[in-house]
Amino acid sequence: FVDMAPKVVFVLGGPGAGKGTQCQRIVQNYGYVHLSAGDLLRAERQRSGSKLGELIEGHIRNGTIVPVEITCSLLETAMKESGKEKFLIDGFPRNQDNLDGWRRQLGDRVDMQFVLFFDCPLEVCLERCLKRGASGSGRSDDNPESLKKRFNTYLNETKPIIDFYAKSDHVRRIDATKGEEEVYQEVQKIFDEVAT
């Protein structure tokens, strides 16, 4: 990155909490670029040869986390290719390995603004993901077996990362149980404040 350090917001929350849905709306109003780590990994799974593709698919199906070097490189490439300087990084960092790797590869070259946390009970997350799976999402992890594993990983590995950022007051929490529109109103309050 040649000029100023790019600005980054980490977007976290349980599987199906609504991260992607809300990020799409933020993009329309606040000039951020949305980078979903999961979407980048799914694209890489399709694009790359069998070895890497299989590794990624194995992690996605099992709800486990892909080694950070892979994810971080995809994020860095996407950031550079965008030519932009404000990013919503959705679904990352998900564990301590992700956090350490991010710090090593990019940490001191970006300005992490805050963590946007979509707080949603896992029963609600489950319902949303099963509904999405039933309506043909094509996602290999929208099934009860994978979801159970995704929830375990979220509770054991990702939630502690959110708690870590909360200690330094870097977390903006949103009640993600309400309807899409109501949730977005909360989101807007935060971004309006940041923008001024």
Which of Mg ion, ligand UP5, none has residue 6 at its interface (CB below 5 to 8 Å by kind)? Answer: none
Q: Which residue is nearest to Mg ion (CB)?
A: 20
Name the one range near Mg ion by CB under 5 A: 13-21, 100-108, 157-165, 167-175: 13-21
DSSP annotation of 32 reads: P
> What are the backbone dihedrals phi and psi of residue 171, each rounded to the nearest 5 degrees, phi first?
-110, 130
The number of beta carbons lying within 10 Å of the beta carbon of residue 157 is 17
Q: How far apart are CA 139 and CA 143, in angstroms?
A: 9
Residue with tokens 């001024």: 196
List 87's β-bridge partners, or say none.
8, 33
Tell me if 20 contacts Mg ion by CB under 5 A: yes
**Which lies closer to ligand UP5 via its Cβ, residue 6 or residue 154?**
154
Nearer to ligand UP5, 85 or 99 (CB): 99
Residue nearest to ligand UP5 (CB): 38
Residues that bind ligand UP5 (CB under 6 A): 13, 15-21, 36-38, 41, 59-60, 63-66, 71, 91-92, 94, 98, 128-129, 132, 141, 150, 179-180, 183
Q: Is 189 helix (H, G, I), strand (E, B) or coil?
A: helix
What phi and psi, each to the nearest 5 degrees, are found at residue 151?
-65, -40
Three-state secondary structure call for residue 9: strand
Known binding residues for CMP are 98
Per the annotation, where are the binding residues for ATP?
A: 16-21, 132, 178
Annotated binding-site ranges: 16-21, 42, 64-66, 91-94, 98, 132, 139, 150, 178
